[in-house]
């Protein structure tokens, strides 16, 4: 008997169809006959929302009236993906939806396709925030996600004829967006600029301009928890939309200037990932959403109180700073407490310190935000004063602790010229965490070493996780059914460690064959999807080998493409006879930051290698390369379940965690990877014999740097590497034009900052091991199944439980 605990809604399919009809009629004003799939999509979404409203209101009331501290997850990015299927799942309406839509004469696929994916994040950091709010709701923990409703999300990626990345705006709000509710009545005022004056011995900030922050609320339904939390994304509006006087002078463009200036703040998501952008607008964005959120929390938790007792604030809500982007919240809460509510410095500091915690998501020192003091002074003069004072207090504290003057200087939050946001966050909050064991260790040993020496108790680790609802249940229904069959229950969806129960089944050939059949069917599905969406002809009977992530030198897409070129050259030159070669389909997905030159060259190279390889009859059926453009959550949900082999090949010591690695392991892919980020923990759990490890360790990388790294040596010593690089240089992938990749080649041979060349040999060597296993499907799938069984730890539910215990000190609503 299989135990099913999935939520069930009280309505029948026929009743749900009626609800959809009502929405069509009363909200959209169309009959089912007139309706288009997009109308039905909007109607269904509104109908699902209605099913969630009572739980949503009750969750809010319980949160405000009860004694359970809430979590405020402050994040500049929430890469939530499409909402409909997830909302249906959590409302227990999936079956009813399928039937109802058919009964109205529509195809489920068309209706689901009508939803446009919001791209409110760059990559892992934004997707992690989305997984976390899903898990918070599923665990019944009261929480707000606080961020920005960007009018334009991450750019849409296209490729031109030459294979170059072209960025086009992602106007995701062009059509009706049924999930976000704009709440004009709970707006907040956010001010900028001006000056600070003394009045009656008190500092008073006289800002120069203000914008109106309007919340747009998204419901965040928990899975089987009966709880619905809120994702509150702020949109910037102008207080003076329109200047009639100017307009009447026929200066039409000038008349809307104030509106444009205000609305610019929430206009666009910065398409950066890992590198800070020193732009005033970016700081405006950060302050905008953080200030609005802090005021919102006070409004929510002290309703109707003019003089709330904010000494209890840290018992009401704990704010998690998702990377440095919201760190301006620390001086902002200080300012609010002192200037708006009259608390003294020490009281304000105690409250602030208790309220905030900081998650660091990087190891690249250049990725920690540093703002010019001048910019902060111009935009937020009062905050700069407060930051200076925090820094003074910090220095005295360090002196009192006997820290050496030199070290104190190195640790400065405020240097005179600039403000180091990671340092401000580390000092200003209670806890600092990294996102995987290795990363947290390196934060303590390297990136934030001085801080960890002085405040060892602040530092902790919370290894990332992913939500099994979206990334197994929704993305991979076949595997979900098989897991439920194997375990005899679907409780694994809220307790992913139960996957461990699949491990004995890895010895059962019949079960392993079913598991293999799931993968094969997913590959066929993906091939069809890729044909429909991209026009690709993918052969589902080849190994699907995937590398999807942002394009970064440290992630080393270059290593993959060079190895691929070497393989191509092997076949071309006859070194490998065509029948010795295991047929592979390599799939890349990656966006490059628009200003990241080498990353964009790498994209161009991948596209052109694909062009050459896919059109070469000599390698036909043996090697194919595809680069579906515009990698996003939707594509991830299709591609991950169809992948046989996943690439996690960053230079050791550079990838903070990775979360794609977890999604692939949970969907039964094998991983080839370095000892980096969460790979380390994945390998530990699934077993070294079930993970293709290669490459230098962190210590070996450090030692090689120290000894003086010369990439040219590797080029000279390895003929296959040399052949591959020479082909890039000689125009093989640029119609004979040697200039196209000259900079890339030059970088490889002279700098190669992330030691791609040094790891090339190990990477190509391990391919033989991979292929020897792949030709034994039963053994390959046995190992893949063992990966699934041992990856339950990588649920974002477990991450959230770790945060609750180690950092937030709160839990589910009673």
Q: Which residues in this chain contact ligand NTF in the complex, by CB under 6 A?
A: 123-125, 128, 273-274, 323, 361-362, 367, 435, 464, 655-659, 677
Contact 540, 524 (CB under 8 A): yes
Please identify, using beta-carbon distances, which residue of 145 and 677 lies nearer to ligand NTF.
Answer: 677
CA atoms of 557 and 192, how far apart (whole Å)? 42
Helix (H) or strand (E) holding 299: helix 280-301
Q: Catalytic: 555?
A: yes
What 8-state DSSP symbol labels residue 268?
Answer: B
SS3 214: strand
Nearest to 793 by CA among 641, 686, 642, 638: 686
How deeply is 130 buried, as exposed, middle or buried, from its count of CB atoms within 10 A (0-12, 13-18, 19+)?
buried
Shortest approach of ligand NTF to residue 747 CB, angstroms? Answer: 21
CA atoms of 19 and 271, how far apart (whole Å)? 40
DSSP string, 140-153: T--EEEEEE--SB-
Please identify, using beta-carbon distances, which residue of 552 and 783 lies nearer to ligand NTF.
Answer: 552
Please identify, using beta-carbon distances, which residue of 522 and 799 lies nearer to ligand NTF.
Answer: 799
Shortest approach of ligand NTF to residue 782 CB, angstroms? Answer: 28
Please identify, using beta-carbon distances, which residue of 163 and 653 lies nearer to ligand NTF.
Answer: 653
Shortest approach of ligand NTF to residue 549 CB, angstroms? Answer: 9
Shortest approach of ligand NTF to residue 123 CB, angstroms? Answer: 6
CA atoms of 489 and 504, how far apart (whole Å)? 16
Residues 6+ apart with CB under 8 A from 434: 359, 360, 440, 441, 442, 443, 461, 462, 656, 657
Among residues 458, 663, 720, 782, the one annotated as catalytic is 663
Among residues 444, 552, 555, 567, the one annotated as catalytic is 555
Among residues 420, 549, 591, 638, the one annotated as catalytic is 549
Q: Catalytic: 307?
A: no
Please identify, using beta-carbon distances, which residue of 113 and 802 lies nearer to ligand NTF.
Answer: 802
Among residues 383, 550, 600, 634, the one annotated as catalytic is 550
Structure tokens at 211: 């914008």
Shortest approach of ligand NTF to residue 598 CB, angstroms? Answer: 17
E runs forming strands in 37-179: 70-74, 143-148, 156-159, 165-168
Nearest to 209 by CA among 386, 378, 335: 378
Q: Catalytic: 261?
A: no
Give the Å distances, CA to CA, from 418 to 370, 379, 388.
6, 14, 11
Among residues 227, 282, 325, 361, the one annotated as catalytic is 361
Please identify, using beta-carbon distances, which residue of 435 and 745 lies nearer to ligand NTF.
Answer: 435
Contact 461, 444 (CB under 8 A): no
Please identify, using beta-carbon distances, which residue of 266 and 464 lies nearer to ligand NTF.
Answer: 464
Q: Catalytic: 361?
A: yes
Contact 587, 639 (CB under 8 A): yes
Please identify, using beta-carbon distances, which residue of 135 and 657 lies nearer to ligand NTF.
Answer: 657
Among residues 362, 643, 659, 674, the one annotated as catalytic is 659
Site of tokens 């060892």: 456
Shortest approach of ligand NTF to residue 368 CB, angstroms? Answer: 9
Shortest approach of ligand NTF to residue 419 CB, angstroms? Answer: 18
Shortest approach of ligand NTF to residue 437 CB, angstroms? Answer: 13
Residues 6+ apart with CB under 8 A from 219: 49, 52, 53, 56, 87, 179, 228, 229, 230, 231
Nearest to 334 by CA among 200, 203, 438: 203
Q: Catalytic: 51?
A: no
Please identify, using beta-carbon distances, which residue of 123 and 180 lies nearer to ligand NTF.
Answer: 123
Contact 748, 711 (CB under 8 A): yes
Contact 644, 543 (CB under 8 A): yes
CA atoms of 557 and 551, how far apart (whole Å)? 7
Q: Catalytic: 738?
A: no
Structure tokens at 410: 């190195």
Shortest approach of ligand NTF to residue 118 CB, angstroms? Answer: 18
CA atoms of 797 and 346, how far apart (whole Å)? 36
Please identify, using beta-carbon distances, which residue of 255 and 290 lies nearer to ligand NTF.
Answer: 290
The angle, 0 to 180 degrees and rounded to 10, between the axes of the packed helices 777-789 and 756-774 is 110
Contact 397, 209 (CB under 8 A): no
Shortest approach of ligand NTF to residue 606 CB, angstroms? Answer: 20
List residues with catalytic annotation.
Answer: 361, 549-550, 555, 659, 663
């Amino acid at each position: 008997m299989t135990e099913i605990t999935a939520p069930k809604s009280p309505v029948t399919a026929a009743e749900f169809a009626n609800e959809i009809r009502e929405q069509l009629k009363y909200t959209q004003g169309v009959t089912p006959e007139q309706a288009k799939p997009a109308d039905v999509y909007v109607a269904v979404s509104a109908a699902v929302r209605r099913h969630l409203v009572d739980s949503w209101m009750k969750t809010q009331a319980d949160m405000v009236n009860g004694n359970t501290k809430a979590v405020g997850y402050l994040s500049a990015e929430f890469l939530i993906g499409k909402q409909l299927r997830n909302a249906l799942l959590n409302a227990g309406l999936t079956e009813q939806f399928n039937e109802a839509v058919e009964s109205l004469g529509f195809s489920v696929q068309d209706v689901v396709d009508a939803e446009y994916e919001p791209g409110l994040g760059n990559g892992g950091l934004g997707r992690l925030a989305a997984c976390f709010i899903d898990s918070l709701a599923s665990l019944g923990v009261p929480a707000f996600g606080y961020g920005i409703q960007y009018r334009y999300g991450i750019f849409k990626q296209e490729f031109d004829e030459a294979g170059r990345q072209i960025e086009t705006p992602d106007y995701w709000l062009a059509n009706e967006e049924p999930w976000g509710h704009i709440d004009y009545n709970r707006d907040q005022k956010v001010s900028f600029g001006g000056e600070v004056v003394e009045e009656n011995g008190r500092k008073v900030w006289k800002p120069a301009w203000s914008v109106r922050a309007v919340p747009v609320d998204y419901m965040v339904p928990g899975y089987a928890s009966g709880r619905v939390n809120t994702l509150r994304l702020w949109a910037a509006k102008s207080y003076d939309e329109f200047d009639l006087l100017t307009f009447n002078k026929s200066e039409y463009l000038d008349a809307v200037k104030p509106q444009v200036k205000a609305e610019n703040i929430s206009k666009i998501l910065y398409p950066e990932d890992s590198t800070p952008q020193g732009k005033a607008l970016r700081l405006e964005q950060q302050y905008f959403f953080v200030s609005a959120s802090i005021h919102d929390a006070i409004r929510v938790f002290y309703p109707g109180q003019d003089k709330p007792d904010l000494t209890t604030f840290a018992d009401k809500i704990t704010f998690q700073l998702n990377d440095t982007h919201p760190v301006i919240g620390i001086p902002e809460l200080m300012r609010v407490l002192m200037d708006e509510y009259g608390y003294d410095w020490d009281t304000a500091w105690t409250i602030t310190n208790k309220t905030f915690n900081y998650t660091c998501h990087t190891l690249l020192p250049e990725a920690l935000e540093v703002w010019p003091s001048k910019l902060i002074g111009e935009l937020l003069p009062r905050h700069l004063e407060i930051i200076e004072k925090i820094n003074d207090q910090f220095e005295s504290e360090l002196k009192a602790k006997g820290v050496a003057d030199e070290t104190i200087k190195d640790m400065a939050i405020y240097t005179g010229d600039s403000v180091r946001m990671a340092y401000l966050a580390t000092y200003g909050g209670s806890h600092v965490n990294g996102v995987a064991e290795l990363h947290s260790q390196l934060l303590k040993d390297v990136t934030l070493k001085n801080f960890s020496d002085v405040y060892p108790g602040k530092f902790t680790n919370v290894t990332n996780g992913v939500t099994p609802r979206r990334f197994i249940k929704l993305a991979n229904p076949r595997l979900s059914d098989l897991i439920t069959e194997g375990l005899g229950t679907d409780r694994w969806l809220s307790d992913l460690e139960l996957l461990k129960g699949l491990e004995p089944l890895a010895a059962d050939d019949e079960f392993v064959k079913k598991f293999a059949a799931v993968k094969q069917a997913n590959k066929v599905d993906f091939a069809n999807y890729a044909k429909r969406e991209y026009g690709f002809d993918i052969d589902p009977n080849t190994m699907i080998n995937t590398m999807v992530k942002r394009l970064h030198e440290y992630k080393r897409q270059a290593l993959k493409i060079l190895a691929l070129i070497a393989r191509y050259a092997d076949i071309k030159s006859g070194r490998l006879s065509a029948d010795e070669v295991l047929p592979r389909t390599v799939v890349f997905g990656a966006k490059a930051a628009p200003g990241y030159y080498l990353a964009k060259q790498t994209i161009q190279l991948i596209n052109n290698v694909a062009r050459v390889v896919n059109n070469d009859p000599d390698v036909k059926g043996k090697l194919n390369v595809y680069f579906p453009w515009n990698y996003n959550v939707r594509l991830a949900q299709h591609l991950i379940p169809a992948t046989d082999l996943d690439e996690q090949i960053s230079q050791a010591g550079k990838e903070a965690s990775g979360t794609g690695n977890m999604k692939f392991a949970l969907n039964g892919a094998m991983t080839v990877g370095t000892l980096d980020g969460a790979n380390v923990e994945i390998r530990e759990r699934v077993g070294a014999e079930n993970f293709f490890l290669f490459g230098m360790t962190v210590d070996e990388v450090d030692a090689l740097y120290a000894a003086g790294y010369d990439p040219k040596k590797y080029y000279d010593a390895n003929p296959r590497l040399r052949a591959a690089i020479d082909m890039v240089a000689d125009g093989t992938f640029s119609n004979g034009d040697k200039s196209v990749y000259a900079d890339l080649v030059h970088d490889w041979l002279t700098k190669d900052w992330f030691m791609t060349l040094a790891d090339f040999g190990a990477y190509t060597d391990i391919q033989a091991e991979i292929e020897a296993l792949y030709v034994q499907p039963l053994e390959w799938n046995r190992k893949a199944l063992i990966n699934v069984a041992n990856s339950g730890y990588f649920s974002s539910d477990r991450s959230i439980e770790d945060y609750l215990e180690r950092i937030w000190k709160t839990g589910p609503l009673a």
